[in-house]
Structures are given as structure tokens and as C-alpha cells.
Amino acid sequence: MVTASAPGKLILMGEHAVVFGQPAIALAIDLRLICTIVPSASFSVNGEPLSDRQHSYVLAALRIAWDSSPVSIQINSGLPSGSGLGSSAAVTVATLAALSGLNGDYEEEVVARNGFEVESVVQGRASPIDTSTCTHGRGILIGNSPGPDLLWHIEKDEREWYVHNCEVPEMDIVVGYTGIIGRTGPLVAKVKRFADRSRFGMEIIEEIGQLTTEGLRMLRTGDKVGLGELMTRNQKLLAILGVSSPALNKLIRASLPHSYGAKLTGAGGGGSMIALTDRPADVCEAIRKRGGVPYVVRTGARGVTLSD
Ligand code: MEV
């Protein structure tokens, strides 16, 4: 028997643009998903037969990284599914890590690379940011050239990502979950159609990349005012790309009077928003009043861990 625990993540800046190879920053958070795998007489997930529809990420992980011997998989998640907090990446990474634990050949980079392949198969089009963050933990910076703290370099379909460890101060961030499931695959496809059809769409994506690069500087110097402003500008660009929603806009508007900045996190559509604030209680109250579910999450969480 092997148990793997993977953190959820939030994207501080740069989602969607990162799928095109632009920079992005993501942080692992202290909500985790636990996956236990034992050899068994037949394949099952939480006591149910393995199914393509219900267990697409687990099935893709088994196809990519496992021989055919049956296993029983138990998953306990502290991450609401479709919340934009990395539930798909965490289930993918924890499953891959537990399988490699059973094989006795766990390697962080292999899990991150296979995790990206799984997300690409299931989602259709993806970047490695979610799976690299859930694997490595702490902070991840994706850049378009190699820099200090490079972890791995990933290429796919003429796009490339330099995945770096990003040392950032631990912070409390308020998350507001809309309760609406955001569907990453269709949202990513929608942004691609926009960028393919118009030069303007591509300019928005490039501008998000520039804001993220500025955001990294603010993060490193601890300039919360500057970082918050950039997050709010990032949100405006995401809204132009068509991935925000009335529910997200409502929670963001309610949080802003008590925050340095706020934006959606992850794919959008529904899912969650984040607020950078020194007044978490006020932001939580504002989110609750507008029908959202607030969480105060701590960044800097450990990456995937294995135990027998
Ligand atoms: C989803 O958490 C982040 C997106 O940028 C998709 C991806 O990077 O695979 C929307």
C-alpha cells in the first residue's frame, strides 16, 4: 500500500496566457488531496468500478504510468472539484506519485511531466503549471526562458515552458468559491478560438504575460499594493478574454474595498476568485454576503509526499 498527498494550488497571475507559453506564477496551498493505492483483484476508485466518465484523470494516469495489474484506489479530497484550486491536478499528481511509490521509482520530475501529459489528454490543451505546482509545491514560476532555480523544461506543439521554483513569502490569501463548477477544457478552447481569430485576443494574452513579469518583481520585493493592482488589472484582461462570470465579478467587486487586489484564479467560468488582503475577516464576510464560500488558505505548502 502507498499513500500520496498532493496540495491544491492557486494561480496568482497568468492563467490562460500560460497555455500560450506566457509567464505565470502559482502557489501551493494548504488544502490537500490524499490518494491511497493497494494491489487488488479488480480496478476500483472509492469502491466504484473504474469509469472513463467519472475517473478520467485517474484512468489517464494509469494508462500513462502503470502496467495492467489491478489496483484499488481511495481518494479523499479537501479540494472542491471544479473550484479552480487544482483538484484535477492534485488527483493526477497524487495518483501518479502513489503508482510510482508502488513501483519503487518515484521521481518528482517524472511525476510532473506525466501529470502534464494526463492533463493534456483529458483537457485537450493545457500548460504544465497546475501539475508542476501540485508536484513540487511552494511556488512555481513559469517563464519563457531559463533562469535561476530552473526545475524542468517542457515542450509541446511548438510551445515551451521553463518551470522554476519560485521562493515567495508565505501568505494568507482569501479564496471565494462561487459554488459553480468551472470546466477548464472548454474555457481553454474558448480563449484559443479568440486568439486564433483576432490579433486583439493575442495582444491581451501578451499583456497578461507582461503584467505577470511585473507581478513577480512586486512579489519579490513584498510590494502588496503594487501586486494587488496588477492582480486587478490581470482580472480585467481575463474578463476581456471571456473567462470571468457574473458570480466571479460579484465576489471580486465585494472583496476589492477590503483588499490590495482581487481576480479569478484558475480557468474561471465559475470556480474561485482570490483576494490579496490584510483584512481576511472583512473579505470573508463580504464573500459570504454575496453567496460565495470563503476559505483563508496559506501558501507555501509542501509538494507531493509519499508514505507507506
Ligand atoms: C487552470 O488552472 C489554468 C489554465 O491556465 C489552464 C492550464 O494552464 O492548463 C486555465
Distance CA 255, CA 174 (A): 9
Cα(235) to ligand 1 centroid in Å equals 15
Walk along the chain (308 residues) in steps of 10 and give the mean pLDDT of each run: 98 98 98 97 96 95 94 96 93 98 96 98 96 98 96 96 94 96 95 97 98 96 96 98 98 98 97 97 98 96 96
pLDDT of residue 308: 85
Cα(284) to ligand 1 centroid in Å equals 25
CATH number of 172-298: 3.30.70.890
Distance CA 270, CA 244 (A): 7
The three grid cell numbers given for residue 138, joined into one nine-digit string: 511552494
Cα(49) to ligand 1 centroid in Å equals 29
pLDDT of residue 21: 97
Which architecture, in CATH terms, is 2-168+301-307?
Answer: 2-Layer Sandwich (3.30)
Amino acid (1-letter code) at residue 158: E
pLDDT of residue 191: 98
Residue 244 phi/psi, 5° resolution? -85, -175
Cβ–Cβ under 8 Å, residues 53 and 150: no
pLDDT of residue 70: 97
- In short, whether 208's Cβ falls inside 6 Å of ligand 1 is no
Cβ contacts of 240-244, under 8 Å, gap ≥ 24 = 240/204, 241/16, 241/191, 241/194, 241/201, 241/204, 241/205, 242/190, 242/191, 242/194, 243/16, 243/187, 243/190, 243/191, 243/267, 243/268, 243/269, 244/268
pLDDT of residue 288: 98
- In short, whether 184's Cβ falls inside 6 Å of ligand 1 is yes
pLDDT of residue 68: 82
Q: What is the DSSP letter of 245?
A: -
- In short, whether 267's Cβ falls inside 6 Å of ligand 1 is yes
Cα(102) to ligand 1 centroid in Å equals 29
Active site annotation includes 130 = yes
pLDDT of residue 82: 83
Beta strands in the chain (DSSP E): 2-13, 24-39, 44-45, 48-49, 71-77, 139-143, 150-156, 159-165, 172-177, 261-265, 272-276, 293-298, 305-307
Ligand 1 atom with the smallest distance to the CA of 11 is: 2
pLDDT of residue 81: 84
Residue whose C-alpha is closest to residue 4's, from 74, 53, 109? 74
pLDDT of residue 280: 97
- In short, whether 126's Cβ falls inside 6 Å of ligand 1 is yes
Q: Where are the domains of the chain?
A: 2-168+301-307, 172-298
CA atoms lying within 13 Å on the CB side of residue 74: 8
Q: Whose CA is nearest to atom 8 of ligand 1?
A: 127
pLDDT of residue 210: 98
Name the catalytic one among 52, 130, 196, 308: 130
- In short, whether 73's Cβ falls inside 6 Å of ligand 1 is no
pLDDT of residue 91: 98
